[in-house]
Amino acid sequence: MWNKRREEEPPKPISQGIVPAPAPPAPNAVEVKKEATPMSSMPVRTFEPESRGAATIGKSVKVVGQIFAKEDLYVDGAVEGTVEALEHKLTIGPHGTVHAGIKAREVLALGSIQGNVEATERIEIRKDAKLMGDIRTARIVIEDGAYFKGSIDIIRPEPAKVAPKPPAPAPAPAAAVPVVAAAPDIKR
């Protein structure tokens, strides 16, 4: 009797932007489980290539030479030579293998780097990444499981230069006169 009455009820409209409240417990336990499964409060941490707005070297691409980037760069292929993205972020993707000296504002390593890295702001070496080379950076993050061989130099940001003090006002000419005038007096 109860089941029949429920079937007759029209589905409730769900207003836009409002998350529907969880369904009341149904007599059938299997159905409850199905509805509960997709919900997860824990965000799954996956790496998404930040290719939006960034130049990309795909995983089937190999570059030998010098790369100068004036935008963010995502390398998932192979690079030999040098990579410079002085004011931008360089990401070495999980398939990326870079045999190069690197200079960038920010470096995110998920793949393999062999070479010295200078990251003016920060470098992050993720789990499973491999970096062999010397690092110079202001800030470093190394996840457990990352392989690193080399040295780490932390660059301390230079304090803002203080404007030079204006030169002291020149002594009044009147004060200088007696000294000049006194010399002949001493000679006498």
Partner 1 sequence: MPFPGPLKNFMRGSRGGQPAGEKSANAAGRPVSQQPGGAQKFTTTTRPSRGIEEFFNSIRDQSGLTILDLGSASQQNVSFITNLGHRLYAEDFLRLLNESFGPDDLAAQSNSGSIDYFLRQALDYPEGHFDGVLIWDVLEYLAPALLAAVVERLMKIARPKGYMLAFFHSDDKLESVPFYTFRIQDMNSLQVAQTSTRKPAQLFNNRSLERLFGRAESVKFFLTRDRLREVIVKV
The residues that touch partner 1, with contacts defined as CB under 8 A, are 140-144, 146-154
Of the pair 62, 149, the CB lying nearest partner 1 is at 149
Q: How far apart are CA 125 and CA 133, in angstroms?
A: 12
**Which residue type is seen at 136?**
R
Shortest reach from residue 75's CB to partner 1, in Å: 22
Of the pair 47, 147, the CB lying nearest partner 1 is at 147
Of the pair 88, 136, the CB lying nearest partner 1 is at 136
Shortest reach from residue 151's CB to partner 1, in Å: 5
Shortest reach from residue 140's CB to partner 1, in Å: 6
- C-alpha distance from residue 136 to each of 118, 125, 146 (Å): 5, 13, 18
Shortest reach from residue 136's CB to partner 1, in Å: 10
Please name which of 28, 37, 96 lies closest in space to residue 61, comparing C-alpha atoms.
96
Burial tier of 151 (Cβ tally within 10 Å: 0-12, 13-18, 19+): exposed
Of the pair 59, 126, the CB lying nearest partner 1 is at 126
Q: Is residue 74 within 8 Å of 56, Cβ to Cβ? A: yes
